[in-house]
Structures are given as C-alpha cells and as structure tokens.
Amino acid sequence: MTPPPDLTLLDSAGKDALILALIERLNDLTARLEILEADNTAFRAENPALRAENAELRAKLNLPPKKPDNSSTPPSRGQKGSEGEQRKPKGKPHAGAHRELHPHPTRRCDVAASVCQHCQTDVSGVEQTAVHAYDRIELPEIKPDVIRVTLLGGMCPCCGSTPVAGLVTASGRTPGARYLYCSLCSTAWNHVRAICITCGGSRALSLKAIDEDSGTARAETCGDCRTYSKVLYQAKDMTVDPFADDLATLGLDLLVAEAGWSRHAPNPLVLVGKS
C-alpha cells in the first residue's frame, strides 16, 4: 500500500491536483463495485436452481444402474454388473479341424529328424517312431489335348474326280445331310454343309437362287475362292436327281456366272469339244 503524501509539503495547486486524482479513483472504484454487486445479485438468483439440480443429481447417484429389465434400454446395450454376478466358466477348447488322411496314398515319404527339437542333440542315428502324419497333395500339370480336325471333301473318295452337285436329303437315317455325287463314277459321299467344297472355307458362303423358282436348286457361292456349286434339296422334290437336275438348271449357272462366280467343276455331260 502506498503511504499518503505529506500535506504540509503541498501547496494549493498540489492539493487541488491530489483531490481531483482521489475523486477520479473513487469514481472508478464505485463503478467496479456496482458491477460486482450486479454479478452477486445474479449469482444469488441462480444459486437455488443450481442447488436443486445438484440435489437431483445426487439422488440419481443412489439409483440402480439402468438395465434392460428396469428401463427401456435394449438388451444389446445393457450394462453388466460388476458385483454379485459370477462369470461363466470358459468352455473347453475344441479339438480343431484337420483333413483326414487318404486311405490309399499314391506314395509315402518318411522324414527322419536330424536333431532333437528341445535340446538340439543329434538323433540321426537312433531309432525313431512316427510323431505326426499329414497328406501333401500335389496337383499334376494340366496339359490341353489339342486335336487338329481337318475336313476333307470336294473329291470323290473312289476315283478322285470332282462332284457334279450336292444333294441335301430329306429321308433316311440322316435327313438334312449333304451328299456330293461324283461326276465320273456317280459315287455319293457325305460332306459337311456350310463349307465350301472347293477351298473348305466357311466365312463367306451364301446361297443364290432364281426368283419365283421352286427352290429345288440353289447355288452355294464362296467369297473366298469366288466359286460356286449346285445344291439340290430333296425336301422340295423327292425325285430330284443330281445329274439331270444339274442340266435342267442351266439358267442358274448363267445367273451366277454373270455375277462373277466360277463353277467349281464342269458337268461332263455338257462338255463341248472344239470343231
């Protein structure tokens, strides 16, 4: 605390300045006191509410904890008591799962221990017994079985001549199969449909026919080798003949030839000699 000044040493002007300073200080303290009194009044008004809340919280401390049986707490969130409850004994460990040994293994392999797993003593020269057995399964390498299939056709298997036309059957054991007829010996042999009898291609095949025709004969054209061959359908006419109907459909030959296709082989009955 600062000691008061000696008033005997002050003149009139000094005393006036001291009085003004004291008045200013008094006004400051008065303002601060008013603030503290206002805060005190507010705290006193709030004190009863705080006391009531405190009493309510203390009362809740004596209540039992909320459990699913005395509140709306779900069973999954129920609190487990720490006193008065006995813990359930731990269950016995299960034996474990393992693959059963195969009754007839392909081969056996006995692996002898070289050292003791506890003391590391050399046991390679002593008699040993089986301790554990398991099956090690080795899967063999899978190699693809590649079969190269070559479709043969277009030539008579008897004399090697070219076919005159093909006939798609409508009866017998294999209805719908195509048979080629040899232009020289009249032998018939099966040939896969939708495969060119000239080059063996199948990507650019198409069938062409004369408009308003019965559909008995069609020309199978190949875009790879630019050739065509006649295909006769027995389902349209059961009396169809490869040789006679090939000659009877020369108009189809002219139509396809004008479009730029070449016949795969000539019909020997229409060969014309030079004079």
Query: Considering the domain boundaries, does residue 186 fall inside one?
Result: yes
Q: Of 59 and 152, which is predicted with more confidence?
A: 59
Instruction: Provide the CA 65 distance to its chain's centre, in angstroms.
Output: 51
For 181, the domain range is 163-270
Averaged pLDDT for residues 184-204: 87
Query: Considering the domain boundaries, does residue 145 fall inside one?
Result: no
Averaged pLDDT for residues 180-191: 90
pTM: 0.43
Contact 249, 262 (CB under 8 A): no
CA-closest candidate to residue 270, choices 248, 247, 249:
247
Percent of the chain residues topping a pLDDT of 90: 20
CATH code (residue 195): 3.90.1670.10
What gap in Å lies between CA 261 and CA 263, rounded to an integer? 7
Query: Considering the domain boundaries, does residue 105 fall inside one?
Result: no
pLDDT-derived band at 8, boundaries 50, 70, 90: confident
Neighbours of 221 (CB within 10 A): 21
DSSP 125-136: TS--------PP
Beta strand 178-182 with 205-208 is unpaired
pLDDT computed for residue 79 by the predictor: 61
Domains in the chain, number: 2
Compute CA distances 110 → 9, 125, 134, 136, 234, whole Å.
Answer: 120, 15, 11, 13, 73
Query: Considering the domain boundaries, does residue 173 fall inside one?
Result: yes
DSSP 186-230: --EEEE-TTS-TTT---SSEEEE--TTS-SSEEEEEETTTTEEEE
Out of 34, 50, 66, a domain closes at: 50
Q: Of 153 and 78, which is predicted with more confidence?
A: 78
DSSP SS3 for 231: strand
Query: Considering the domain boundaries, does residue 99 fall inside one?
Result: no
What gap in Å lies between CA 223 and CA 60, rounded to an integer? 96
pLDDT computed for residue 273 by the predictor: 47
Out of 6, 27, 50, a domain closes at: 50
Mean predicted lDDT score pLDDT of the chain: 83
pLDDT computed for residue 78 by the predictor: 66
Query: Considering the domain boundaries, does residue 26 fall inside one?
Result: yes
Contact 242, 249 (CB under 8 A): no
Query: Considering the domain boundaries, does residue 12 fall inside one?
Result: no
pLDDT computed for residue 55 by the predictor: 87
pLDDT computed for residue 275 by the predictor: 45
Instruction: Provide the CA 177 distance to its chain's centre, in angstroms.
Output: 42
pLDDT-derived band at 179, boundaries 50, 70, 90: very high
- Phi and psi at residue 220, to the nearest 5°: -90, 110
Averaged pLDDT for residues 254-262: 91
pLDDT computed for residue 30 by the predictor: 92
Query: Considering the domain boundaries, does residue 169 fall inside one?
Result: yes
pLDDT computed for residue 60 by the predictor: 81
Instruction: Provide the CA 142 distance to its chain's centre, in angstroms.
Output: 24
Q: How does pLDDT run across 206-250, given as a tens digit for each residue?
A: 998 888 778 899 999 998 889 999 999 999 999 999 988 998 888
Out of 50, 66, 95, a domain closes at: 50
